[in-house]
Amino acid sequence: MIVDCAIYQDGERTETPQDFSDALAEARARGDSFLWIGLYEPTEREFDLVTDEFGLHPLAVEDALTAHQRPKLEVYDDSLFVVLKPVTYEPKSDTVTSGELMIFIGDSFVVTVRHGTPSPLGDIRRHLEEQHEMLKHGPTGVLHSISDAVVDNYLEVATELQNDLEELETEVFSPSGGGSRHTASRIYTYKRQILEFRRATVPLALPMTKLAGVGPGSGVTVPFVHAEARPFFRDVNDHLLRVNESVEGLDRLVSDVLGAHLAQMSVRQNDDMRKISAWAAMAAVPTMIAGIYGMNFDHMPELHWYWSYPAVILVMAFLETVLYRLFKRRGWM
């Protein structure tokens, strides 16, 4: 589905011809204009119209249609193809949901393809149309604005996940909640959210370093992206580095929390086993004595003694008291 289509000249939105070919030709003829087309989960037939007019590479088109791609940057003869994964955080369910955002950039055109619910495109386009300044930089300005919005949202999601981890730590190390099965389920679910978040942020590091012109191959320019925009992409890359460091820290901490939870479970099981063993030992003493006197022999010591029964009861009580105090002193009770 085509969500929006417009020609932007000197940062201002202008009237756009209905035909893509005419719109692109008009944008190129003006010299300081570009065409921006936004699509949402397009069908193959809908995307064929865009592909034919803009000369998009078939491999990039296939990726844009099928989705389920890692964040990446690919350079083709007539276009630049960038994949981003926007994420959202659902406070009610404490879950991270990711979508996919594909961006084609070429000579005087931008084509954005969105899959899934999380996407900042609508807000970005409205913000750019209100501010104008970034649109004056053409497709490069659009790519930077989208990347910046996606990465800034990563920072917000990382903060929410940090808050969730603090709640988990409180629950694990609380006197009563740390050993429950519900806690183990929450830790595992949280680790799944971290994994989903990592899939969006970690692979994006390499494309951002290329756009920012840092790291290996820093002297190589990216086609269809102005070299003057590198400082702006470096700012986005710095934010992404902060996010990835935060994600790595969260992943290590949740592993430590899981280890602490399992250790607590093991300690509590050992405590339970010691208590059971102590009670079993205490129960064994009177059982043994009663078993001895329960044997029906004619000749047994104290069998006909008047005080035999109360004496045996007193011996049992004395031995039980001794065992109880011994186990209590050792922390088994």
Q: What percent of the chain has pLDDT over 70?
A: 91
User: How far lies 97's CA from each of 3, 88, 94, 196, 205, in Å?
Assistant: 22, 5, 10, 8, 20
Cβ count within 10 A of residue 306: 8
If one compares 173 and 154, the residue with the highest pLDDT of the two is: 154
**pLDDT given at position 148:** 93
Q: What is the pLDDT of residues 185-225, one digit of tens each?
A: 888 888 899 999 999 999 999 999 999 888 765 666 788 88
Whether the CB-CB separation of 253 and 162 falls below 8 Å is answered with: no
Mean pLDDT of 177-181: 58
Residue among 215, 218, 28, 187 nearest 106 (CA): 28
Question: Tokens for 282?
Answer: 């205490």
If one compares 321 and 294, the residue with the highest pLDDT of the two is: 321
Sign of the C-alpha dihedral computed for residues 229, 231, 234 and 239 taken in this order: negative
Q: What is the pLDDT of residues 139-160, one digit of tens each?
A: 999 999 999 999 999 999 999 9
Mean pLDDT of 291-309: 69
Whether the CB-CB separation of 160 and 89 falls below 8 Å is answered with: yes
**pLDDT given at position 277:** 79
Range name among 7-11, 24-28, 153-157, 279-283 with the lowest pLDDT average: 279-283
Please check the confidence at residue 41 and state whether its pLDDT lies above 80: yes
**pLDDT given at position 216:** 67
Range name among 38-47, 74-83, 198-207, 300-309 with the lowest pLDDT average: 300-309
Provide the β-strand partners of residue 36: 6, 110
What is the Cα–Cα distance from 332 to 273, expressed in whole angstroms?
Answer: 9
**pLDDT given at position 299:** 59
**pLDDT given at position 298:** 64
What integer best gives the mean pLDDT of the chain?
84
Mean pLDDT of 114-138: 80
Mean pLDDT of 267-286: 77
Please check the confidence at residue 166 and state whether its pLDDT lies above 60: yes
Question: Tokens for 275?
Answer: 């208590």
If one compares 276 and 82, the residue with the highest pLDDT of the two is: 82
Give 269's contacts (C-beta < 8 A, 6+ positions apart).
none
What is the Cα–Cα distance from 158 to 253, expressed in whole angstroms?
Answer: 13
What is the Cα–Cα distance from 236 to 154, expressed in whole angstroms?
Answer: 11
